[in-house]
Amino acid sequence: MRVYVANPTLQHRDFHYRIPGVQTSRVLRIRAGGQEQLPESLDGSDLQSVLQQLQGIGAVPKSDLASIVAPKALIFDVAPNPIKAETIEEGLGLDEDARQEVSAAKMEESGLQAFARAQSGGARAVEASMEVVEVTDRGAVKGGVNYEVVVSSKPNRRAARKRTETKA
């Protein structure tokens, strides 16, 4: 059966995979935003093995794009026809969202790490703030961001964060 693998990210992908019983691994180069067909016609346990390898690195089936919650996910489909361009485009949007979510989480963690002492010590009613300001709103660069992170060091309390985009 034909297996198509699409790459809905801005990075090129070398998908390394191994067919059971074959000594050497294989590489499928999928350019950013593109898709490729696995050169082998796979069936049965070979097909299941390759699909498992795909899913193990966060690839999702074409019918389940909503599962793209982490960056760098691939899309695969076992079908006679290639994956539609609209599907890859939708995946690109989801990848961007996932990247931004990771970035936001890391910004938040910056504050948490800076005040790890206050948390680990079980301190009470402590609040610390880290201000990260991108001042392009004064110069109006399109796509700039203002970012403000407020970190609560109370146990199990997550931080508030505010992100606004500037418009040209």
List interacting residues with other proteins (CB under 8 A). 9-18, 20, 23, 25-26, 32, 53, 56-58, 70-73, 96-97, 99-100, 102-103, 106-107, 109-111, 113-118, 120-121, 123-124, 126-136, 139, 141, 143-145, 147
| Residue whose CB is less far from other proteins, 1 or 141 | 141
How buried is residue 88: exposed, middle or buried, by Cβ count under 10 Å (0-12/13-18/19+)? buried
State the greatest distance between any 2 C-alpha atoms of the chain, in Å, as a whole number: 62
Q: Which lies closer to other proteins via its Cβ, residue 24 or residue 81?
A: 24
Which residue lies nearer to other proteins by CB, 85 or 122?
122
Strands 160-165 and 145-152 turn out to be: antiparallel
Considering the complex, state which of residue 12 and residue 80 has its C-beta at the smaller distance from other proteins: 12
| In the complex, minimum distance from the CB of residue 47 to other proteins, in angstroms, rounded to a whole number | 15
Please tell me the total number of residues recorded for the chain in this structure.
168
157 CB-contact burial (10 Å; exposed 0-12 / middle 13-18 / buried 19+): exposed
Beta carbon of residue 167, minimum distance to other proteins (angstroms, whole number): 14
CB of 43 to other proteins, least distance (A): 19
Least distance in angstroms from the C-beta of 143 to other proteins: 6
Structure tokens at 112: 């948490």
User: Could you tell me if 98 and 71 are in contact, meaning their C-beta atoms sit under 8 angstroms apart?
Assistant: yes
Minimum distance from residue 88 beta carbon to other proteins (Å) = 16
| Residue owning tokens 């390394």 | 16
